[in-house]
Amino acid sequence: MDEIDYGVPATGITLMPITPDLAGTWLTEFENLCRPADERHIERLADDMRMGFWTEGLRHNSIKFDQNLALVDGARRLMAVIRSGETINMAVERVITQADGPP
């Protein structure tokens, strides 16, 4: 599997354990293009993670980075991982956004 800095896959999608430390690194090291934080939603996700109800895997939306390693989807889930203190398996992928694709 081709990987680049901080464990983000160079291409495609992979299922990987997201630790609170890794989630924090991704949120601080990469540009965040996601919607603004919703504290109530993040706390609900963190509660589910703490209680063992979170089964991310490939069933839910993945954590998505664009070609330039900007975070385009999943910031709230990463914030919830930090808040919960749990390691959660999540799908992580690199996607080509319209701005990155051919003209």
Confidence of residue 103 (pLDDT cuts 50, 70, 90): very low
- The predicted model gives 44-65 an average pLDDT of 81
- The predicted model gives 40-66 an average pLDDT of 84
State the CB neighbour count (10 A cutoff) for residue 90. Answer: 23
- The predicted model gives 34-47 an average pLDDT of 91
Give the model's pLDDT for residue 2: 44
Model pLDDT for residues 69-91, shown as the tens digit of each residue? 889 999 999 999 999 999 999 99
d(CA 54, CA 76): 14
Instruction: Check: CB of residue 96 under 8 Å from CB of residue 20.
Output: no
Closest to 66 in 3D by CA, of 95, 102, 31: 95
Q: Look at the pTM and tell me if it is higher than 0.85.
A: no
